């Protein structure tokens, strides 16, 4: 299946799951709990308050070498947003891609997606665990804090 088909399929539009494709075109669905949605929303609001340029978006579809993955939250510069805004799925990853770990994810899956986003030209990838602890990465590895948003907290609080 292609991403365009997923987007146009009426049976898939109202599912309460995040939908992605694997490299064989198979649909992968990840159910989320309230805490996942909470962290996703809080990360989005924090990014919007700390960055006054570019676009912050939830659930951004990104072309990767393992087909289309959907980052929980992204930040995209104006320049990169102009490049991808009319695409069905982003041909280049936004500069910041954030994944929030669900109980249905393993850390191996999270690290795999981190590498896919970096390979797709993300500048930083952030991972949030189930306790709201943030880890920041770029191509060189783990960072002490984000270089793009140095004031972003290491812990998402309620």
pLDDT in tens, the chain (158 residues): 666 776 676 666 665 566 666 677 776 656 667 888 899 999 999 999 999 999 999 999 999 999 889 999 999 999 999 999 999 999 999 999 999 998 778 899 999 999 999 999 999 999 999 999 999 999 999 999 999 999 999 999 87
Q: How many domains are there within the chain?
A: 1
- Give yes or no for a contact between 134 and 152, defined as CB atoms under 8 angstroms apart: yes
pLDDT of residue 154: 97
Residue 155 domain-assigned? no
Structural domain for 77, as ranges:
33-143
Supply the DSSP symbol for 136: E
Residue 119 domain-assigned? yes
Residue 78 domain-assigned? yes
Q: Is the dihedral of CA 55, 148, 145, 104 positive or negative?
A: positive
Q: What is the CATH number of the domain that holds 112?
A: 3.90.1570.10
Residue 102 domain-assigned? yes
Residue 96 domain-assigned? yes
**Beta-strand relationship, 67-76 and 124-128:** unpaired
pLDDT of residue 38: 94
Residue 157 domain-assigned? no
In 72-93, which positions are buried (b, 16+ CB within 10 angstroms) versus exposed (e)?
Answer: bbbbbbeebbeebeeeebbeeb
Rounded-to-integer distance, Cα 121 and Cα 22, Å? 19
Which runs of consecutive H residues, i.e. helices, occur in the chain? 3-8, 34-50, 78-84, 107-119
pLDDT of residue 19: 62
- Kind plus residue range of the DSSP H or E element containing 135: strand 134-138
């Amino acid at each position: 299946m292609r991403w365009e088909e997923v987007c146009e399929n009426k049976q898939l539009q109202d599912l309460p799951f995040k939908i992605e494709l694997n490299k064989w075109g198979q649909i992968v669905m990840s159910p989320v709990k309230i805490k996942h949605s909470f962290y996703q929303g809080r990360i989005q609001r924090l990014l919007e308050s700390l960055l006054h340029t570019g676009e912050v978006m939830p659930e951004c579809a990104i072309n990767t070498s393992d087909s289309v993955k959907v980052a929980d939250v992204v930040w995209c510069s104006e320049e990169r947003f102009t490049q991808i805004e009319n695409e069905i799925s982003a041909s280049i990853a936004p500069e910041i891609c954030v994944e929030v770990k669900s109980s249905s994810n393993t850390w191996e899956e999270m690290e795999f997606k981190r590498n896919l986003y970096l390979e797709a030209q993300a500048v930083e990838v952030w991972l949030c665990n189930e306790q709201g602890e943030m880890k920041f990465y770029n191509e060189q590895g783990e960072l002490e804090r984000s270089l793009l948003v140095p004031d972003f907290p290491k812990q998402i609080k309620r």
